[in-house]
Structure formats: structure tokens, C-alpha cells
Structure 1
Amino acid sequence: MNYQTYQPHADLSALVKFYWTLEVPYDPNNQKQKIIPDGCIEMTFNFKDDIKRYVSEKDFIIHPNSMIMGQRTKSYFIEPTGDVDSFAICFYPYGFANFVCVSLESLVDIEVPIERLFGDETAKSLKQKIFEASSTLKRIEIIETFLLDRLHQSTTIENLVKTTVDTLLATNGSTSIHQILKDDLSKRRQLERNFRKQIGISPKQLGKVLRLQTALKMLLNEEKNLTNIAYESEYFDQAHFIKDFKEFIGTTPKDFLGNEHMALSTLFYK
């Protein structure tokens, strides 16, 4: 597997987390891979063979070759049918809402063709430019021109939503919504409503995903026991950490390490 990341232009750096590419040559022995929620929405272009997403143990759908992947509330399996060659834009939690007018709650746990969000003509033109580009840097140039053009047409993120996301990102999801709102419960309903519209999921769900990411990176990159990881990720105790881990990933931290179905997620988080 060849996975590379690229930083966005300064004018987009508050909205786009990074760009990434992934190349995986086909191997009949490759196992299907589990993808873990990360709190981000992605726009993905696949230049080679189809990719399956499993909706049950045996049933699957085929990913569109150009798509938006909405917020995830649970892990899922994918499996390439051949060679993989992908280019993607990873948006910060409130990043993608700056470029579309739809409620992002409608995209949760699904993938949609980019035509559905940007219209047939605009999507066709963008896809043609991206697919015909001669390099990753050229593709980044194309997508940044597209995003900057749409950014000038869009509305802004509601301030309370942005403040909440910024706090959750800065504290790796460990700050409670009560703390962020300073116990002003009158704002709670407004925040929940706008958060689901502009982020896709609730503040609590995003916080749980971000905190789990912190713990997962420690698990993969640092030699620490589960108790220390739970403590440093600000879980109440190890049992709560393992419970959240199993809820989002479907396995225990111990079983995650070295699991052949987790090779792609391990690559992403390392």
C-alpha cells in the first residue's frame, strides 16, 4: 500500500484537513478492510477498479467512482475488486458545509455521487479535469480552484457550531458540551440542531469519535498499556475506553493490533 498526504493552500487550511492518495495493487489474497469513523467528510475520486462497501456479512454496494462520504457513526468494511488508485479531500468537521447547501445529516453513514450535491454539469466538468490530470499536484490545483470558487458563494458556519468543533478538536473530544456552553442550556437545542445540519452528527458523537482517535493513535504509535491510554485520553476508566472502542470499531483494542482486516486503518492512523 502506498498512502501519501498533502497539505492544502493557506486559504483552505481552516476547512480542508489534508489531501490523500492511496495506491494498492490487486492481490487475490487481500482481505476486506475495516474503515473507522474519523469525524471528517471526504470527497473521493477512484481511478481504477470498483470498490465494494459491505452492508452485511455478504451483501455489498459498489462505491461511486466520484463521491462524497458523509460522517460515520460506525465502522464498515470495504474490499477492492482490483487495483486501487484514489485521490481524496479530507475536510475538517465543519469544512464541507461551506461548499454545499444541503443538511449534512442527510449524508450520515452513506456515500453519494458528487452529481447529487454539485449538479450534473458542474460534477461532469470537475470529474473530467480530475481524471485527466497528469499528477497529484495538478489534481490538488484543480480541486482547490473548484473549492475556492464555491467558497465565495457559500454561507458561513454558525458561530456556536464552529466554537464547539474548535474546542472539541483542541481537547481531542474530551470537553463536555456543558463545559463548552458554560451551563447555558438554552443554547443546547440550537447547537444540536445546527450541529447536525452543518456537521452531520451530534456534538457528543463527534466528541466520542475524536477522543477515540486520540486513543487509537496512542495504541498504534506508543508503547503504553490500556490503562494509561484510557487515562491520557481522558476516559473515566479502562472499561469505558474498551466499551467505546468496541462500539465504533467492533473489536477490543487487543484484537485490533495485528488484525489483517485493520491493515488499511492502521496505515491511516500511523
Structure 2
Amino acid sequence: MDGRPVEIRDRGGWLEASGRPHSALRPFLRAYQGYWEPEAVPSRMRTLPTRSAVVIVNLGPPMRLEVPGPGAAAELRSFAAGMHDGHGAYSTPGGQHGVQLDLSPLGAYTLLGVPMARITNAAVELPDLLGPAASALVERLAATPSWADRFDLLDAFLLRRLEIGPEPDPEVARAWRLLRGSDGAVGVLRLAEDVAYGRRHLTQRFTEQAGLPPKVMARVLRFQRAVELLSRHGLGLADAAALSGYYDQAHLNREFRALSGCTPSELLGGQLEQQRVTTAAEPA
């Protein structure tokens, strides 16, 4: 063990162990989030579209995951979930134990080594995506009791993936930074002009590498901005709508129904507290 700092938090019903990844990986993810539930309490939780692709390295019982769109629910162990433009859910028998990685879209493109469009609105078992090395990683993590040592194993695995993974187009990377930095306020035409790509070409390359078309990605970013303003900053609906780039409160309400499957009040009334993904851990 190299003395890596690990912070343990009680999240109410489950515990979290967080640690920073290797510096070379931090542009893609800010933290490793280990988690475990001391008691096996069955649960069902809503999932929301976010700025991140998610990797779950599962050391406990499988999850039943429902993704947006017409795909059937599936029981998964360790998996990668791509970018989503709608809501879903997962249910567990309780006693969950594992590590969550929240990857930026382009970080996932590099570290997973596949076009992100392949796993948009989908989840894929890690061994199916990354091969036998993923199964070996899960076995080693399960056999390692220390969270610091587990995070060291993840560093080593991901640094190897970083060496062999594809690099996004510089133009796509800049378009993502502009979208992310503005919380979706930059239009596609302006993005295309800024990166000197044609609009159609930018949409094609961005979708392939980031997982969603730039216009849809902007929609998700605006939604996430509104969620943060309502949940973390306590703003009212009208103020959150204005600061998130919606025309008015009615527009915000329609987007919440479309992207989360419920009203802002319903979401704030219980769903937000259940999200294991926290905005503070999302990559830049």
C-alpha cells in the first residue's frame, strides 16, 4: 500500500470510500467511488441522464438495470453504461459492494476503446467490452481488502488502457469543452464554426466519439444544470429555468418530464437523495 488517502463517508444506509486516481487519469475522472451496504435491503432507484458515462466494477450481487428506450431490462454484474438521453432504473437485492467510475464521454471513448455511440442508451458487461482482463481485474479487486490497494489496481489497469486507447479528434474535444463549460448554452452552428468543421461532420464525429449528438448533449447538460440549481442551491423553479437556459418554467417542466420521467417536485421529493452518482465526482 502506498499511503494513498482514502476518505470514508456514511451516506445513510451505505458507505463510500473515495480516492483520487493517478494524475494522468484525472482529466477523465475525478475520483474512485467504492461503496458497500452493510445490510441487504432491496431497493429500486431512478437513473437520470448525466454528463458522465458510468463503469460499475461489481463485487456484490448483480443489479437489474433498465435503460432508456425500448431495450429490455437486463441483470448485470460489472458493466459500462454509455451516455443516456432519458431516464431508467436499477433494482438490487441489497448488499451492494463495488466501485463506481464516472467518466467524461471522451474519457470513456479512450479508456473503453470503443466508439461511444455503440453503447449509447445501453449497458454492456465489462468482459464483453474489454475482454478477459476485465474479469481478472474484478477477481483481483474482490481478493484485495484495502480500498487504497484496490484503487492502485484500478490505476494500473486504466493507465494501460490509456496507452492503447484512441484519442478523440481535437475538434471534438474542443466542442465538448465548449458545451461542458457553458452547460449546453452553445449552439451546434457556433460549435461547428469554432472548430472549423461542417455542421453535419461535427455531429457525426461528436456522436461517434462522445455518444450523443451535440444538440442532445446540450439538452442533457442544461437539465443537469437545472437539477443542481434546484437540489444543491435551493433555487426556485423560475430562477433555475432562467439560469439553465430554458425559455420559462413551463419549458423546464416539459424537459424534466421528458428526461427524468417526473416533475421537478417529484424528483426533488425523493429521487435525488437516492442517486449514487454525485455531481461533485463528475469529470471535467
TM-score > 0.5 by shorter chain? yes
Give the fraction of aligned pairs with identical amino acids, expressed as a percent.
22
Classify the secondary structure of the residue corresponding to 2:105: coil
Corresponding residue for residue 130 of structure 1: 141
* Contact 2:49–2:259 under 8 Å retained in 1: yes
CA contact (8 A) 1:17 1:92 kept: no
Which residue is equivalent to 2:28? 15
* Structure 2 CA distance for partners of 1:106 and 1:206, relative to 1, 3 Å: same
Per-residue deviation, residues 159-193 of structure 1 (Å, max 9, x unmatched): 11100111111111121122222388962122111
Which residue of structure 2 lines up, in the alignment, with residue 264 of structure 1?
274
Q: How far 1:152 moved relative to its partner?
A: 1.6
Give the C-alpha shift of residue 247 in structure 1: 0.8
Distance 2:197 2:109 in 1: 24
How many Å separate the matches in 1 of 2:230 and 2:21?
A: 28
1:184–1:54: structure 2 CA closer, same or farther, 3 Å change rule?
closer
Q: Distance in 2 between matches of 1:202 and 1:241?
A: 21
Shift in CA distance, 140/94, structure 1 to aligned 2, threshold 3 Å = same
What root-mean-square deviation, in Å, do the aligned CA atoms of Structure 1 and Structure 2 show?
2.3
Structure 1, unaligned runs of 5 or more: none
Distance 1:225 1:41, change over 3 A: same
Partner of 2:171: 160
Which of 22, 29, 40 lines up with 1:26 in the alignment?
Answer: 40
State whether structure 2 residue 153 is matched by structure 1 residue 142.
yes
TM-score, normalised relative to structure 2: 0.84
Q: By how many angstroms is 1:219 displaced?
A: 0.8
CA–CA distance in structure 2, aligned partners of residues 133 and 264 of structure 1: 28
User: Residues 155, 221 of structure 1: CA spacing in aligned structure 2 closer, same or farther, 3 A cutoff?
Assistant: closer
Picking from 190, 193, 204, the partner of 2:204 is 193
2:61 paired residue number: 49
In structure 2, do the counterparts of structure 1 residues 185 and 163 end up closer, same or farther at CA, with 3 Å as the change threshold? Answer: closer
Contact 2:192–2:202, Cα closer than 8 Å, also in 1: no
Q: What is the Cα deviation at residue 126 of structure 1?
A: 1.6
State how 1:1-270 maps to structure 2 within 5 Å. 1-24=14-37, 25-27=39-41, 30=43, 32-54=44-66, 60-63=73-76, 65-120=77-132, 122-182=133-193, 187-259=198-270, 261-265=271-275, 268-269=278-279
C-alpha displacement of 1:262 = 4.7
CA contact (8 A) 1:50 1:82 kept: no
Q: Which moved more, 1:134-143 or 1:208-217?
A: 134-143
Please list every run of 5 or more consecutive structure 2 residues that lacks an aligned counterpart in the other structure: 1-13
Question: TM-score if structure 1 supplies the norm length?
Answer: 0.88
